């Protein structure tokens, strides 16, 4: 979503608070320091769109969003590429971190800043954070609150605010590759194929499955089976009406309603009973 630009002769001087920033400003905020956020490239933009559709349609998900600013305290404002959960239908920054966050990392990714963002989101309450690696071998790094191991690292370069803090590097709890499934228990109902977070065709298949499940069908095959069953049931209803007419059995509104409510097995049983007893029993 694009917001109209408002005049800003210069960014605020640190320390900065989240209420000094507005939707559309090209910054996030870490410990009161501005972090510049540039536009997403083509590959990352495609991934954000299809991955967001996959996660938003999961039957267990009640809310999701893209680039939603999360500010649980004044000195921090982080916007995951995709947020799943805790996304309200109201203006302003979200105050609670999403249970599941997704970040896309492509060529030129600032790894030190990504590490800071992962750590802050996990400390803010995010339970699962998936980093989708688009450059090199496609893969997804899974970070979990309380489970992310740390390893010593050299000091990262300073972000746009000029900090230079020595931080241990977070290690993912696991790395998941194409052909494998991602899970977020308590957040998503369905496992997510890795490819569905960046491949358009794979994402469409998963999105369709999710939408069908939201309507009570487990799969497209279940829809087809239901259609065939309903077609057989409608044929049985038509045959029963003809049989009742031949046998001079009155079809009252109550009986018509009963016919419409019956499934195939009940219709077959009623047909056999009428043929045997020559009456509506």
The domain that holds 74 is classified in CATH as 3.90.1570.10
Task: Examine the domain organization and report whether 49 and 175 are in the same domain.
Answer: yes
| pLDDT tens string 41-73 | 999 999 999 999 999 999 999 999 999 999 999
What per-residue confidence (pLDDT) applies to 14? 81
Q: Are residues 146 and 248 in the same domain?
A: no
Q: How confident is the model at residue 150 (pLDDT cuts 50, 70, 90)?
A: low
Assigned domain for 10 exists? no
pTM equals: 0.74
CA pair distance 236, 135, nearest whole angstrom = 58
In the predicted model, is pLDDT for residue 115 greater than 60?
Answer: yes
CB half-sphere exposure, 80, CA atoms < 13 A: 32
The CA-CA-CA angle for residues 134, 135, 136, to 5°, reads 120
User: Residue 242 falls within a domain, yes or no?
Assistant: yes
Residues 204 and 50: their CA atoms lie apart, in Å, by 8
Q: Is the pLDDT of residue 165 over 50?
A: no
Average pLDDT over residues 201-223: 89
250 and 142: one domain? no
Are 59 and 181 in a shared domain?
A: yes
Clarify whether residues 265 and 148 are in a common domain. no
For residue 4, tell me if it sits in a domain: no
Q: What residue spans of the chain are helical by DSSP H?
A: 42-56, 111-124, 200-214, 220-246, 253-261, 264-277
Last residue of a domain, one of 172, 197, 214: 214
Q: Is residue 70 part of a domain?
A: yes
Average pLDDT score over residue span 204-230:
86
User: Based on the domain organization, do 40 and 153 belong to the same domain?
Assistant: yes
The neighbour count for residue 86, using CB atoms within 10 Å, is 20
For residue 203, pLDDT beyond 60? yes
Alpha-carbon distance 184 to 266, whole Å?
41
Residue 6: inside a domain? no
Give the chain's domain count: 2
CA 182, CA 186: separation in Å to the nearest integer? 13
**Which of 198, 214, 230 is a domain's end point?**
214
Are 165 and 239 found together in one domain? no
Domain range enclosing 158: 18-214
In a domain, 11, yes or no: no
Give the confidence band of 102 by pLDDT, cuts at 50, 70, 90. very high
- Give the integer Cα–Cα distance in Å for 122 and 176: 19
| 46 and 91 in a common domain | yes
| pLDDT (mean) for 257-277 | 91
**Which of the listed residues 214, 239, 269 is the one where a domain comes to its end?**
214
Give the distance, in angstroms, between the CA of residue 53 and the centroid of all CA atoms in the same chain: 6
> Is residue 2 situated within a structural domain?
no
Judgement on whether residues 64 and 134 belong to the same structural domain of the protein: yes
97 and 75 within one domain: yes
Given a cut of 50, is residue 168 above it in pLDDT?
yes
Residues 259 and 134 in one domain: no
DSSP state of 135: S
Domain assignment present for residue 143? The answer is yes
Residues 191 and 242 in one domain: no
**pLDDT at residue 2, rounded to an integer:** 46
């Amino acid at each position: 979503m694009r917001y109209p630009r408002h005049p800003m002769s210069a960014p605020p001087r640190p320390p900065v608070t989240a209420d000094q920033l507005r939707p559309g400003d090209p910054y996030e905020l870490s410990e009161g320091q501005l972090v510049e956020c540039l536009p997403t490239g083509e590959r990352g933009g495609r991934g954000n769109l299809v991955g967001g559709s996959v996660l938003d349609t999961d039957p267990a998900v009640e809310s999701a969003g893209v680039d939603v600013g999360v500010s649980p305290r004044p000195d921090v404002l982080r916007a995951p590429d995709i947020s799943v959960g805790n996304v309200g239908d109201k203006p302003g920054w979200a105050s609670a971190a999403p249970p599941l966050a997704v970040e896309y990392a492509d060529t030129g990714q600032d790894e030190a800043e990504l590490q800071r963002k992962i750590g802050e989101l996990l400390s803010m309450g995010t339970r699962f954070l998936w980093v989708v690696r688009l450059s090199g071998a496609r893969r997804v790094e899974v970070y979990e609150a309380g489970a992310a191991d740390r390893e010593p690292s050299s000091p990262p370069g300073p972000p746009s605010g000029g900090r230079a803090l020595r931080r241990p590097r977070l290690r993912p709890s696991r790395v998941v590759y194409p052909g494998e499934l991602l899970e977020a228990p308590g957040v998503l109902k369905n496992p997510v194929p890795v490819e569905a977070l960046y491949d358009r065709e794979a994402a469409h298949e998963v999105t369709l499955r999710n939408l069908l499940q939201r309507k009570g069908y487990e799969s497209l095959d279940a829809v087809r089976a239901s259609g065939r069953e309903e077609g057989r049931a409608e044929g049985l209803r038509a045959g029963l009406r003809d049989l009742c007419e031949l046998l001079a059995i009155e079809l009252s509104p109550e009986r018509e309603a009963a016919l419409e409510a019956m499934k195939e097995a009940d219709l077959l049983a009623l047909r056999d009973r009428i043929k045997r007893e020559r009456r509506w029993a």
